[in-house]
Amino acid sequence: MFKTERCSLSTFQESDCEDVSKLFTNRQVRKYLGGIRDADSLKETLEDMLDPHSDSYFWVVKGKSTKEFIGLISLDLHHNGIDYEVSYQLLPKCWGKGYAVETVSVIIDFALKNLKLPAVVAETQSANISSCRLLEKVGMELERKVFRYEAEQSLYVIRCLKSEGIQGLSNTFIE
């Protein structure tokens, strides 16, 4: 479990399925994420998220004092098969309040320092300006843009520079 100033992040469990389903069926949340999930796709996604043998991490975000569901953060293998990607979905009522910056920062820090990953990447539709700004706020740098999933995608990366002992920015992203 992780805690930020206002949020707690706990490992996704079966008891979280109802809350997390709200994200995958919300048109606003899924606007830049391939659209809402139908019942079969959602069931399969939730089952995959619960797989204990998965190399992916999923955390449910809740208000630290209210325990109210805010969203979901994940860290899983990017489709390039090399880098780990941080992803996030928050309920629309929680947008613009800084929750994503708090929680994504904690997960990036965990990935670089605890998991000792050399880098963390993120991919978002370029049209999703709020998501691009968020990634820049947490220290990620735009690496390049590509056309994928029928839209322009912005690829971001942050790399741990071990020689300097600090987090730094990468100049390479392996696609």
Which tens digit of pLDDT belongs to each residue from 93-114? Answer: 999 999 999 999 999 999 999 9
pLDDT-derived band at 175, boundaries 50, 70, 90: very low
Report residue 10: phi and psi, to 5°: -125, 155
Topology of the domain comprising 2-168: Aminopeptidase (3.40.630)
For 121-136, what is the mean pLDDT? 96
Residue 168 has a pLDDT of 41
As beta bridge partners, residue 8 has 3, 62
CB 143, CB 155: distance < 8 Å: yes
pTM of the model: 0.87
Per residue in 49-71, pLDDT tens? Answer: 998 888 899 999 999 999 999 99
CA distance 74 to 128: 18
CA distance 104 to 84: 13
Report residue 98: phi and psi, to 5°: 90, 0
CB 135, CB 156: distance < 8 Å: yes
Tell me: pLDDT of 47 over 50.
yes
Q: Report domain extents, the chain.
A: 2-168
CA distances to 23, 65, 125, 161 from 33, rounded to whole Å, are: 11, 30, 8, 31
Tell me: pLDDT of 164 over 70.
no
Residue 54 has a pLDDT of 87
CA distance 62 to 10: 8
